[in-house]
Structure 1
Amino acid sequence: MAERRKDRRKNEKKQKLVLPLLSGEKKRQKPKKESTKRNKNFKSNRPSGGLSRVTKVSIAALTLMVIAVVAGSIFFLRQYGQVITAAVDAGQQQAKAIQESDFKQFRPTTILDVNGGVIKELKTQERDYLSYKDMDPLVSEALISIEDKRFYEHHGVDTQGLLTVALNAALGRGVRGASTITQQLVKNIYLTPEVSISRKVEEMVMAQSLEQKFSKEQILEYYLNNVYFGHGAYGINAASRVYFNKSINDTSLLEKAVLVGITNNPGLHDPVSNKDNAIKRGKTILGEMLSQGYITNDDYNKAIKDDFTASIHSDALNNDLGDNEVALAVDSATKILMEQQDFRFQYQFDSKEEEDRYNQEYLDAYNKVYQRILSGGYEIQTKIDPTIHQQLQDILTGVMQSWPDMDPEKNIYVKQAAMTVIDNSTGSVVASIGGRGEEGNTYNRAFLSYRQPGSAIKPLVSFAPAYERGLLETSTVSDDRPNNNYPNNIYMGSRGNLTLRNALAMSSNVVAYKLAMDNQTELQEPVYQPLAQMQFTGLDVADDNPIIAVGGMTYGATTQEMASGISTLVNQGNYRMPTNIQSIKRKDNDQEVFNLNDAPQRKVYSEDAAYLTIDTMKAVHQEENGTATDTNLAHNQYWAIKTGTTDEAKDLWTVGATPHYTVAVWAGDDTPQPQDNASVGKATRQIFQEAMDLLNNGKEDVDFQMPASVTNQNGQLVTRSSQAKQVLATRQNALQATTQNIDALAKTKANELIAEKLNSPMVSEASSFSTQLLADRIQTLSQFELIVTDTQDNWKTFDQYAQQVWALIQNVEPAGGTLSSQYTSVYRSKEAQYAQEKAALTSDVDRVEGDITTTEEQGKELDKQIEDLKKELNIRDTTRPSSSSTPSGSSSSSSESQERD
């Protein structure tokens, strides 16, 4: 019965498409005939042989429209011509690699440990995939009726949709327009959610290629088995199991329509949380199916009176990763493949709107690739060592057993902890311990939980950038609070002027805050710039504030990010993406798409700044007033550490490193609550200590590698940055002093001649001076050269001579006169000149300091250019054309949107 109905509908559809073509008729022919008839019956009052006024206006309007379209087309081509050409080339290149295995991943994704053993197999698509012939035809008919009415007529791109896109772009409405089912499939599998002219053109080119390679039925099959339906369900059969706990073929007509309706916006049309919207959308689809002849009136009337009960059956997907290390591996693989798919990761934003837009794009892209991995088709070789992981888990679990209280609802411990360990030689994650290890506690806090880092962040945002500016460990900063806007110290007071080494050892909040402010001003970059370069994903627009130097972030950081940051310091300022993946390979063509050995590094800090920061962190356990003096390692004498405590001790941290490993530990409640710093804080240091002792046992006890840009001069570490700053200042001062000396000598010589004139013999009686003689004295006084330098100031000499001349003038002109006016003009002019040169001296000092800053910035820019060039050369050497496609992904979030272009 079902087969007959299926064949009947297919034949009807073919007849609808074929008969008009055979008869030579076109669509909507009837309305045209009716229009012609109406024109015949229309009684015109215009004179025979002429055009009516209405006709003239219509022709004029049509002419203007044509001109506007032509002008718009010229503008469009000029505006986007090169972009479109590049997008066409990119689309054609990607289209060459399209293959059936991109849509049907029946080989399970396998995750291997460091020894090649299988840890986990992921194969959700293999279980839920339904071929076109095995799926109820009503499903694809419902999809076509609402998403792509001309699906069987176009070749991947609907001309009307293309005109809509062009019109929207010309009117400044963006590049949104009706996408065909084929285009949507291309976007879901191969492209990022970016909305742009180039991406739309690339999508169209690939859609046409897809139509050439596969039949319409195959395209419908691939779409319905890969599109996202919310709550982690990709594919309509998986969605049917999640919402209705049954196969799609066993659902009612209304349920089918409701499921198809979800794809437009999974959050808005969620049949569980937004049932009214889901029903409304479903009935709209049923109406379209009726009007297009896919269902009868009886079918429609019965379906719209129907109802359904939906709930989330999360176990239906069977894709629970469970293990912390496996969860990290899939997360890392997702981000790696997103990057290969040209997704542009962003970590700092100019506005909240930009941040929100990016977050939605990120979620869409992440979910697509994530589900792609779960569906199957990849071999992921990891660095996971189950033995080491279990030993480290046992350490954390054992230390935290002093807090046995359980959450009655979640059945996990109230007080939790997390730890990330990184191998400094490779940058890879050795262990990702996401909790206390109790049964059911599978949430990996190590890379998923953002917590305020407290003082643990100080080395990354305060001290390393300060050393970039040329400061040294012996540089001093006042611990005094100028006003209440500054954070208070945990010891509630000031310790006076502190060296940077002292300040970090005792964890001065005031000094860290002041350093962050100065870094922001002198380096002219956001306070969180280093964190953004190291891909801290919890950054917010509001975090461009020195308060983050004491851990006051909007969202916070993870132990993985903190460990990666400290490891960057150990790695001489070079950041490496933290991952426990060694390689990723596609199973369908056995092609390796990622290898850790080829992963690029990014220069975040200079070598000397990174080394000085690590050396300063040693003081935290070495100095008497350090915050970690109670911590000692059994196998290392060279190691760095930093503790962190937030307000009310809601989050407790210990981060640190030996030359071999970096460890970051956090402890607290999942819902932040005040902690006992003395006990919980000490627990984080104990976990750090025991983990380091385990990891470093048998390793060579060596110091951190000192770069050539750092030297030890009389017991003080001096860096290239500090020397460059000092040399520049010395040269500037020497040049300025030499110039001033030459100028001063010339002026002195001139003044000697003037003095001879002013001291020449005079008649003692004022009456004997002629007006001409006094005028000569005033002229001589105007030629006096003022000298204003760091070491000389001859204003008093000039003023002495001036007063002598003024006394003589008063004898001749007691009531004032021409001489008095001339004198006053000269004196005021010299007075203004002196004030100007005095101000210029101060300005020169400021300028020298500015030149120093500019030179440092130019040096940084040169370093960046060199690093970019290295990366470009490396990419040219290592990159090979790839035929791999980008997978689609999943998420458990029900609020994510998949609105059509």
Structure 2
Amino acid sequence: MAKRQERHQKKLDNKTKKQKKKASRKKLAKSTKISLSILAVMILLIITGTIFFFQKYGKEVTAAIDAGEEHAAKIQESDFKQHHPTTILDKNGQTIKELKTQERDYLTYKKMDPLVSQALISIEDKRFYEHHGVDTQGLLTIALNAATGKGVRGASTITQQLVKNIYLTPEVSISRKVEEMVMAQALEKRFTKHQILEYYLNNVYFGHGAYGINAAAKVYFGQSINDTSLLEKATLIGVTNNPGIFDPTTNKQNALKRAKLILKEMNAQGYITNKQYEKAVADDFTAKIHSNALNNQLDSNEVALAVDSAAKVLMGQQDFRFQYQFDSKEEEERYNKEYKVAYNKVYQRIISGGYQISTNIDTALHDQLQSILSNTMNAWQDRGENSLYTKQAAMTVIDNQTGNVVASIGGRGEEGNNYNRAFLSYRQPGSAIKPLVSYAPAYERGLLETTTVSDDRPNSTYPNNVYNASKGNLTLRNALAISSNVVAYKLAEENRTELKEPIYQPLAQMQFTGLDVGDDNPIIAVGGMTYGATTQEMASGIATLVNQGNYRAPLNINTIKRKDTGQEIFTQDDLTQQKIYSDDAAYLTIDTMKAVHQNADGTAASLNLAHNQYWAVKTGTTDEAKDLWTVGATPYYTVAVWAGDDTPQPQDNASVGQATKEIFKQTMDLLNNGKEDVDFQMPASVQKVDNQLVTRSSQTKQVLETRQNALQAATANIDTLAKQKANELTAAKLNTPMVEEASTFSNQLISERIDTLSQLEIIVTDTQDNWQIFDQYAQQVFTLIQQVEPSGGSLSDQYTNVYRNKEVEYAHEKAERNSELNTIKSQISEAKTQSKDLDKQISELKKQLDEARD
């Protein structure tokens, strides 16, 4: 009995096992089906995204791969770690500044606390040690974002970020992303993971001028990175995501929140223990800016300009797309953000070391010119809270033979006044801008110095003249001499209309960096710009006029060399000139500017130069005289001088305005002493006829106007003769004694009108529907028919037939269009339904998978 029970129990156990095994197989099969279904959907999405991606970006991707490989071949260790300080050489090859920032703060991976790189990896690139420069998940994210219209953004690895920080501009595009990936993979082949971490942490930007983690620790916490707490280390790593948002001095709560997130990730990934985590999150920090932490203060105006010039040259070599005019405020803001990132990146590379920058800086000449400006401004001794003089001045001098900046005087030279206003400070230029935006373009149109323009204000939108009156018709030469605002405003408006280009177009072409979308307005002709211009930009604009209308970028550097290879990566010969104004327009403008000091009523009539009789000048005064200018040129030099308060305040024009003229005079007298007194070179396209300058542009304009007038007169004569002949024919018909013949004549005309009406094509599209136009013409014809056939007749029948046919045609076209629209709407609705069904299926599959796992 016991054996039988045992056998029975055994059978039951076997049956239970079989049932469990079968159920397990069913459950496994069900789970497998669910997994495979989800996998199939994912594969389908990936294939769809990939196909879309390569269809849309195929050629762009191929070009970017080639560019990435080309750049990757040039990667060197010295790109990340500079062993040689950057040196700035003067015109005689003597070192006037040595920059050693990276050499002082650079920390190798071995000497850096491991917690720093671990904090970075935990928040920025969890799979850093697994990938080879590009994370495949990040690549998938980019493809899907592109396919779904979300742009080409995607997660970047630390290696990719290093490539972007060192080599690429901040432009967001598919080509930049692909180029970045190619270079990142090349970087991983060349260097170890520890080297890449070292290079990244020593080159990334932390805000407040700090590049590199060690420099940042000194700036924010006043000590080396190895001496900071775990919370402070996490805080600094958090800053790299966005130095503005996570600034520990101005946005402590944001910085603390991100630091705690980093600590949480470090704990979860096993980099720190629970005890370390709890202690760090309970900790606090006090951050403040330690201004002496960075030894990269450029206290020389000329050196500051040299580094700025070099930075822009290197940005251009990295294919940064400089932009000076914009279609919208959003575009302008986007560009300014990209520019700042790109500029700071290159600027830091120069400061960190590795370059030899040869300049044309003449320190002795600079000191002389600084003395002229400082001594002239000594009459104003008031100082502000920062101990700097309240009333400041700035000046730029350009050599007209080369286009080089000879001197950049950024302030009055008192101790601590290191801000170079000459190329950094945007101020309203007042009337000093008139030659560039009003007169030169007007001469481009063919006007002459003797052309007259009324000084009367047509309406209240026009600016007042500084003399608060109208002098009637003025020649352009006289108008500039007395600085008529009305004439300058009128010329700017006419220039825009006739030349069909924005008023600020010449300024944009001459790289004025303070232009705004709102500056396409004739008010800028009297200095009413949104932001303004610098003395360097004003000087380069006038120098362009002297150089026969050819613009040259204002730099004070001759060459740039890489110290590690000795390669010369820039020379002045690389610069190209850009034609802004025609030769004759530029010359006429310079000649007109002579009247400003030659005419008895000119705004600079009291100004005389010791060594030159051939020179041009223009003064500028803004509302309430907040900004005062004197800009001008001899054949040898161009000088632009500004004076005013750093925070714009009304000035005494008589004294401060005179100071700008005195600085201009003394500077020109110093520079031109000993040089031959020659006139500006007159181009072959300008001739003197009957004691006035005549240009090729004006002659062309006169010929065209003469021909146009003759053509208009001839056309008017032909039109008159045609009308007279038609009237004679009509009169002959009307004078016939037979009424039937007159009626027939009218019927024929109306019948022809109906035929013409029948030939009008009916158009119905997304943007056009000309039924109302047809109906309007039809009503006009019907009115004529009623005059001839008030009770109906053959014309009425003919008209009705045409009108009904057109109604049918219109109804047909309209119906077809509506049918197409309905089809499209149906397709959209069907696509939405399918999308919802797919979402539902995926949701059900996920639910089944969860149940299977349970």
Match of 1:544 in 2: 520
Looking at structure 1, the residues matched to 381 and 693 of structure 2 have their Cα atoms a distance apart, in angstroms, of: 47
**Match of residue 200, structure 1, among 177, 185, 191:** 177
Specify the alignment match of 1:344 in structure 2. Answer: 321
1:231 corresponding residue in structure 2: 208
C-alpha displacement of 1:174: 1.3
- Offset at residue 150 of structure 1 (A): 0.7
Change (3 A) 1:771 1:649: same
Distance 2:27 2:429 in 1: 87
Asked if 2 retains the 8 angstrom alpha-carbon contact of 1:451 and 1:557, the reply is: yes
**Who is 2:738 aligned against?**
771
Task: Name the structure 2 match of 1:125.
Answer: 102
Give the 5 Å matches for 1:605-620: 605-620=581-596
Match of 1:89 in 2: 66
- Paired position in structure 2 for 1:837: none
SS at match of 2:244: coil
Q: Which amino acid aligns with 1:218?
A: Q
Q: Secondary structure at the match of 2:601?
A: coil
Matched, 1:668 2:635: no
Structure 1 distance, partners of 2:42, 2:308, is: 53
Structure 2 residue corresponding to 1:683, chosen from 659, 664, 680: 659
Q: Is the 8 A contact 1:106 1:123 kept in 2?
A: no
Structure 1 residue runs of 5 or longer lacking an equivalent are 1-39, 763-768, 783-817, 823-901
State TM-score, norm by structure 1. Answer: 0.78
Match of 2:196 in 1: 219
Q: Which residue of 2 aligns with 1:164?
A: 141
Larger RCO (alpha carbons 8 Å, 6+ apart): 1
Distance 1:42 1:260, change over 3 A: farther
Local SS of the residue matching 1:617: helix
Do structure 1's residue 149 and structure 2's residue 126 form an aligned pair?
A: yes
Q: Given the alignment, which residue of 446, 452, 458 partners 1:470?
A: 446
Distance 2:239 2:712 in 1: 73
Contact 1:417 1:667 (8 Å CA) reproduced: yes
1: distance between equivalents of 2:124 and 2:740? 104
Provide the C-alpha distance between the structure 2 equivalents of 1:591 and 1:525, rounded to a whole number of angstroms. 42
**Aligned letter for 1:617?**
M
Q: 2:221 aligns with which of 219, 237, 244?
A: 244
Percent of aligned pairs sharing the same letter = 74
Q: How does 1:193-592 map to 2 (within 5 A)?
A: 193-407=170-384, 409-592=385-568
Q: What aligned pairs does 1:170-185 form with structure 2 within 5 A after superposition?
A: 170-185=147-162
Q: Deviations over 1:718-742 (max 9, x none)?
A: 1111111221222334445556667
Amino acid at match of 2:288: S
- Cα 1:746–1:497 shift into 2, 3 Å: closer
Give the 5 Å matches for 1:54-69: 63=40, 66-69=43-46
Worse overlay, 188-197 or 267-276: 267-276
Deviation at 1:198, TM superposition (A): 0.6
SS across alignment from 2:357 = strand
Q: CA deviation at 1:179?
A: 0.7
Whole-Å separation in 2 of the counterparts to 1:102 and 1:427: 31
CA-CA distance at 1:67 after TM superposition: 3.8
The code of the aligned residue for 1:401 comes to N
Query: In the TM superposition, what is the alpha-carbon distance from 1:314 to its structure 2 partner?
Result: 1.6
Structure 2 counterpart of 1:771, which letter?
M
* Residue deviations 1:181-219 (CA, integer Å, cap 9, x gap): 100100000001111111010000000000000111111
Match of 1:714 in 2: 690
- SS, match of residue 210 in structure 2: coil
Deviation at 1:625, TM superposition (A): 1.1
CA contact 2:512–2:537 (8 Å) conserved in 1: yes
Which 10-residue stretch deviates more, 87-96 or 251-260?
251-260
What displacement does 1:64 show?
5.4
**Whole-Å Cα distance in 2 between the matches of residues 493 and 750 of structure 1?**
55
Once structures 1 and 2 are overlaid, which stretch shifts more, 332-341 or 266-275? 266-275
- Mark the CA change 1:542 to 1:744 in structure 2 (over 3 Å): closer, same or farther: closer
The Cα of 1:771 is off from its aligned counterpart by 3.1
2:706 paired residue number: 730
Distance 1:92 1:770, change over 3 A: closer
SS of the residue 1:278 aligns to: helix
Q: Which whole-Å CA distance do the structure 2 matches of 1:43 and 1:509 have between them?
A: 97
What is the alpha-carbon distance in structure 2 between the residues aligned to residue 544 and residue 239 of structure 1?
A: 42
The SS at the match of 2:604 is coil
1:753-772 alignment runs, 5 A limit? 770-771=737-738
Shift of 1:100: 0.4
- Aligned counterparts of 2:236 and 2:42: Cα–Cα separation in 1: 42
Task: Assess if the C-alpha contact under 8 Å between 2:49 and 2:144 holds in 1.
Answer: no
Asked if the contact 1:758–1:777 (Cα under 8 Å) also holds between the matched residues in 2, the reply is no
Following TM superposition, by how much is the alpha carbon of 1:743 offset from its aligned partner in structure 2, in angstroms?
A: 7.5
Are the aligned partners of 2:49 and 2:143 in contact in 1 as well (CA < 8 Å)? no
Q: Deviations over 1:255-312 (max 9, x none)?
A: 1111111111111111111122212111111111111111111211221122222111
Q: CA deviation at 1:42?
A: 12
3-state SS of the aligned residue for 1:642? strand
* Matched-pair contact (CA < 8 Å) for 1:614–1:640: yes
Q: Structure 1 residues 41, 463: CA separation in 2 closer, same or farther (over 3 Å shift)?
A: farther
Change in CA separation of 1:758 and 1:125 when aligned onto 2, cut-off 3 Å: closer
Partner AA of 1:556 in structure 2:
G
Rounded to whole Å, the distance in 1 between the matches of 2:587 and 2:271 is: 71
Measured in 2, the distance between the counterparts of 1:43 and 1:577 equals 83
| Letter in structure 2 aligned against 1:375 | S
Maintained 8 Å contact 1:185/1:222: yes
Q: 1:173 to 1:660 in 2, by over 3 A?
A: same
2:51 pairs with one of 53, 74, 81: 74
Distance 1:338 1:141 in 2: 32
- Selected match of 2:623 from 639, 642, 647: 647
Letter in 2 for 1:554: T
Corresponding residue to 1:115 among 92, 97, 102: 92
Q: Distance in 1 between matches of 2:86 and 2:549?
A: 35
Distance 1:454 1:141 in 2: 56
2:603 is matched with 627
1:657 aligns with 2:633: yes
How much does 1:65 deviate? 5.1
Q: Secondary structure at the match of 2:371?
A: helix
1:82-118 CA-to-partner distances (Å, cap 9, x unmatched) read 0000000000000000010101112011101111111
Q: How far did residue 70 of structure 1 move?
A: 2.5
Report SS of the residue matched to 1:413.
Answer: coil
Residues 1:467 and 1:43: Cα distance change in structure 2 (over 3 Å): farther
Residues 478 and 497 of structure 1 are in contact (CA less than 8 Å); yes or no, is this contact kept in structure 2?
yes
Q: Structure 2: how far apart are the matches of 1:41 and 1:299? A: 48
Contact 2:733 2:742 in 1 (8 A): no
1:292 & 1:778 partners in 2: Cα distance? Answer: 100
Q: Could you list the per-position Cα deviations for residues 423-476 of structure 1 after superposition, in whole angstroms to 9, with x for gaps in the alignment?
A: 001110000011111111111111111111100011111111111111111111
CA distance in 2, matches of 1:386, 1:281: 48
1:505–1:620 CA contact under 8 A, matched in 2: yes
